[in-house]
Amino acid sequence: MELARIIKIARGDEPADTLLKNCKVVNVFSGEIIETDIAIAHSRIVGMGRYDAAEVVDLEGRYVAPGLIDSHVHIESAMVTPPEFARAVVPHGTTTVVTDPHEIANVLGLDGIHYMLDMAKYNPLSMYVNAPSCVPSTRMETTGASLEWYNLEALKREKYVLGLAEVMNFPGVVSGDEGMLNKIRSFKNRVKDGHCPGLSGKALNAYINAGIGSDHECTTVAEAREKLRLGMYIFIREGTSAHNLKPLLPLVTPENSRRICFCTDDRHPSDLLKEGHIDFMVRTAISEGVPPVTAIRMATLNPSEYFHLHGRGAVSPGRRANLMVFSDLHAPVAEMVYRGGKLVAQDGQAFPWQRPVQKTVLRSSMNVNWSKIDFSMAADGERIRVIGVVPGQLISEHLIEDTPSHDGNVVADPNLDLLKIAVIERHMATGKMGKGLVRGFGLKRGAIAASVAHDHHNIVVVGVDDENMLTAAQTVAESGGGMAVVDGKQVLAELPLPIAGLMSDQSIEQVRDGMEELLVAAKTLGSSLHDPFMAMSFQTLPVIPALKLTDYGLVDVEKFKVVSLFV
């Protein structure tokens, strides 16, 4: 809308489009609750106070806060397309997300990123993108694409691309890897997000010198405090597998809260639909003693300032009319959600909207050379490295155990919770495999498999023997990607994910129901994990300590190299 008319409406010389009357505005600037009215013209707030308007909505004393912002999320981890993700999170008060599409980029490259941008259009959710910085995340995995700095240049011209996404290859930054540094140089004047679990001391100083401004991988207050003191924004994360919210909330003080934001990173449909999104984090923070306005500010104004989204994040003149309306300040639950001045959700339901037309044609992403797939492992040592799952965290343990063997081969020992794990390359049919042992899944029989394996997204499978593992892996491939639970030759449950082997073309409710069937089936096999599929998917990410598995083999993340299975 033309500036002169905006000013005329703000002066009160012309009526506004909409007036939200009798509000208690959560003022994230002053920390106050202010009783006033909100005048909206077109998509923006033009004034606070008494105004005439074409439409008057009496909120009857309800609270109004800025629309919530997720500072870092991988939409692909919800296993649905951007429109379905929007339908799930907007009713919870989320109006803006900053997403890193590196999951689909690792499978399909720039085509995958353009697909996500295409599908984000015309949604009741503003989806901003940070260009994936690590495709692949390391040189110790096979991916479907590789993006160098010059591949990312075109993305900088996209309207909704803000900066450079989480720089996961922190060893590469610290050691001065030219390929990594060229990406950072390319985004010199843009926001650059971080990913540096456990990094400390001089190595952390070196990492921050690259201009990286945030980190969402902190698991302890001490780690977060060191990074905060050195100038980083801390994104507190609460995902499906990584539960860092309550452990990190003691970090928050009146003095430092302006440098702390909320993010979900990776969150499955059941958690989105049952618990919520960023609103769940706000409610939890308040219940743990964080003042309500402070908690809301960490989900609104703080990320808007970090990402230079200065038209969002507050209820004030000149800001976009992205608003969350609720009744209980101490347990905010969205009753009405406005995005750009339009009511887009009410009482937990998003209103219908025009769905985007897919323009990007996606190629097949399941290419496995089954003739080369062999799950056997010769028992070449008496002591063997084992990946130790840490429930509720993305980090793993680097365990050393006596080698369980039979007839000269390594075998699983379910009684000791030692299971076989394998990663099968699925992008270029090379037949490459990584094989090892894992502890923490609890399976007594059968196997589980998925084509969601961060961040290379090859097929990952955990099971009690080779036959079960082969059946599970082939079931995933035959459905075009997805997840499966098998017991012998019987498929107990499966969830097809035909879009890059990462996302479904079905509704989020259907995906949730399919996921619930998988979890129930996995529990019948003995798994005690909240979500063994999410846990399994992160045992393959070679940028989070301590021991991980890719198609190259076992990766000692702390040494940042492939290591022998045996000690």
pLDDT at residue 235, rounded to an integer: 98
**Domain ranges, ordered by start, for the chain:** 68-305, 370-563
Residue 33 backbone phi and psi in degrees, to 5: -105, 120
pLDDT at residue 242, rounded to an integer: 86
Q: Is the pLDDT of residue 361 over 90?
A: no
Q: Is the pLDDT of residue 109 over 90?
A: yes
Three-class DSSP category at 494: strand
If you average pLDDT over residues 270-286, what whole number do you get? 97
pLDDT at residue 355, rounded to an integer: 77
Going by C-beta distance under 8 Å and a sequence separation of 6 or more, which residues neighbour residue 513? none
Cβ neighbours around 11 below 10 Å, total: 10
Q: b/e map of 121-150 (b: 16 or more CB within 10 Å)? A: eebbbbbbbbbbbbbbbbebbbbbbebebe
**What tens digit of pLDDT does each residue of 51-64 get?**
999 999 999 999 99
Q: Is the pLDDT of residue 1 over 90?
A: no
The C-alpha atoms of residue 457 and residue 468 are separated, in whole angstroms, by: 20
Q: Considering the chain, what percentage of its residues have pLDDT values greater than 90?
A: 94
Type and span of the H or E element at 262: strand 260-263
Confidence tier at 406 by pLDDT (50, 70, 90): very high
**What tens digit of pLDDT does each residue of 20-39 get?**
999 999 999 999 999 999 99
The C-alpha atoms of residue 382 and residue 405 are separated, in whole angstroms, by: 9
Q: What is the CATH number of domain 68-305?
A: 3.20.20.140
Q: Is the pLDDT of residue 451 over 90?
A: yes
What's the per-residue H, E or C state across 186-200? HCCCCEEEECCCCCC
**What tens digit of pLDDT does each residue of 241-273 get?**
889 999 999 999 999 999 999 999 999 999 999
Answer yes or no: pTM beyond 0.95: no
**What tens digit of pLDDT does each residue of 409-423 get?**
999 999 999 999 999
Q: Is the pLDDT of residue 358 over 80?
A: no
User: Helices 82-89 and 110-119 sit at what angle, rounded to 10 degrees?
Assistant: 50
CA distances from 336 to 46, 61, 558 (A): 20, 13, 47
The C-alpha atoms of residue 560 and residue 171 are separated, in whole angstroms, by: 7
Q: Is the pLDDT of residue 440 over 80?
A: yes
Confidence tier at 299 by pLDDT (50, 70, 90): very high
Query: What is the residue-averaged pLDDT of the chain?
Result: 96
Higher pLDDT, 115 or 353: 115
